Chain A
C-alpha cells in the first residue's frame, strides 16, 4: 500500500507515538491536574511536556501560551468567534479551508464585515492586497500558511509585518505546515497560530491547538467554559493561560501521542523533514507533468509548496481516478474539493475538484515512481 493522503492525516506514525499512547493508557491514565495525587501529576506532566515541545518547535518562550483544542478547526473557531463582534472587519484569502471560511461566513450573517483577498489562479497571494483591504474597523487577518488543495506556501512574515504595523491581529492556519515547514511564530509577527496534531506533527486525531501571543488572551473570549482544576471556588472562567481556553478533561492520551510526535519532529529537524518532502515533490511533479492529458494545479514548483499536489486527468473524473488508484494500484489519495470550495474556485477546479496526492516523511522516492507510473497507465487507458 502507498499512502498519499498525509495532508488529511499522516500515516503511519513514528513508533514512539504508538508506545507513548499505549504507555499512557496502561501506566498513567489519571485525570491530569485535577486531583494532586502522583498519577494525576504525572498525567499533567505529560501534557506539560507536549506544551514544551510545541513551544520549542514554534519558537515560543512560554509553554503556557500553547493551548490545546481537539483540532485546528476548533482553534480557528476559538479565534474568530472569540474575537470578532458585529461591526468588526476581518480579512482572509480566497485559498482558505472551510475551517476558516465557514466560521467567517457564519459571523458575516451576524454583522461582521468580511473581505476575501483574491489569489491568483496558481493560488498565490500578494501581501499588498491585505494592506489595501485594511479598514479603520479591521480587527483580524486570518490566513492559511499553505493551501490544503495545491500546497502553495503563503507569505506569512510579510503579511504579519503588515498586520503588526496596522495594529491588526494576525492568525495563521498552520494545519498543513506545522512540523513540515519551519516557522518562528514571534518573528513572523503571528499573534495566533492554529495547528493540528494529526498531520505533520504525527500525533493522533483529536489533537491540535493554538499558540497564543502575548496579551491576546485579553481580547479573545473562550469558546468553551467549564472546569479547569484551578480556582475551584469561583464560578467564573480563569483569565490565565492555558486554563482560560481549556475546560473539561482533555484528550490526555492523545496529547501523550502528540508529544511523542513533536519530539520526533524535533529530533529529525523540520529542515530535514522539509528537505525530504521537497525532494519527493520534485520527483512527483516532474513525473506527473510529463504525462499527456495530466493537468497540474497551483505553482507546481516544489520550492513554493508543501507536499500537496492537485492534478486531473483529461476525461476522467477525480473520484474515478482515485478509485482506480485505490483498487488497482493500492494507492490512497483524496479526490474532490478537500473541504475548500473557495480554493477550487480560485484555481478553476470548482465544482469537479481534483485528485490530491500528499506524500509524507515516510514516503519513499520509489513509491513516488510507482504512483507516477500508475497515473500514466490510467491516463493512457482513458
Chain B
C-alpha cells in the first residue's frame, strides 16, 4: 500500500503509475495505517522500487509504503 497526503495525490500517483503500465488499484486507506478517510494505491510488492522511481520522477511525495499480508482465506 502506498499512502499519500491527499486523495488528489493518490489520483496523481494512479496517473503516473498507469502511464508506465504498472498494475494498481485505488482502495480505501486501511484503518490501521491511517485515520484518513481517503484512498491509497495498492501495487504489487515486486513493483515497489519501480513505483518509487516513477513517483520521484513525477516529483510526487508519498506518505509511506506499507507491506500488506495477503488476505486470509
Contact status A229-B7, CB under 8 Å: yes
B36 touches A32 (CB 8 A): no
> Of B7, B35, B36, B59, which is in contact with the most chain A CB atoms at under 10 Å from its CB?
B7
Interface positions of B from 47 to 71, Cβ below 8 Å from A: 58-61
Which among B6, B27, B35 is the interface contact of A33 at CB below 8 angstroms? B6
Chain A proximity of B58: nearest CB distance (Å): 8
* CB-based nearest B residue for A31: B37
The answer, among A32, A52, A62, A233, for a CB contact under 8 Å with B7, is A32
- B24 at the binding interface (Cβ < 8 Å): no
Q: How far is the CA of A228 from the CA of B5 in the complex (A)?
A: 11
CB atoms of A36 and B6 under 8 A apart: no
Which A residues, 42 to 56, have Cβ-Cβ distances below 8 Å to chain B?
44-45, 47-48, 51-52
For residue B28, CB closer than 8 A to chain A, the reply is: yes
Among B27, B36, B60, point to the contact of A231 (Cβ < 8 A): B36
Q: A229-B38, A232-B37 are in contact. Are A36 and B28 (CB under 8 A)?
A: yes
User: Number of residues in B with C-beta < 8 Å to the partner?
Assistant: 21
A32 to B37, CA, bound (A): 11
By the criterion CB–CB under 8 Å, are A52 and B15 in contact?
yes
Contact indicator A228/B6 (Cβ below 8 Å): yes
In the complex, are the beta carbons of B36 and A230 less than 8 A apart? Answer: yes
Residues on B with beta carbons closer than 8 Å to the beta carbon of A62: 12, 58-60
Contact: B9 with A44, CB < 8 Å?
Answer: no
Provide the bound-state CA to CA distance between A230 and B11, in Å: 13
Give the residues in chain B near A47, CB-CB below 8 Å: 8
Complex alpha-carbon distance, A47 and B5, angstroms: 17
Binding site for A on B (CB under 8 A): 5-9, 11-12, 15, 26-29, 35-39, 58-61
Top 4 nearest A-B pairs (CB, nearest first) are A36-B28, A33-B7, A233-B35, A48-B11
20 A-B residue contacts at CB 8 Å? Answer: A33-B6, A34-B37, A35-B37, A36-B28, A36-B37, A48-B12, A61-B59, A62-B12, A63-B12, A64-B6, A64-B8, A64-B60, A228-B6, A229-B7, A229-B38, A230-B6, A230-B7, A240-B5, A242-B6, A243-B6
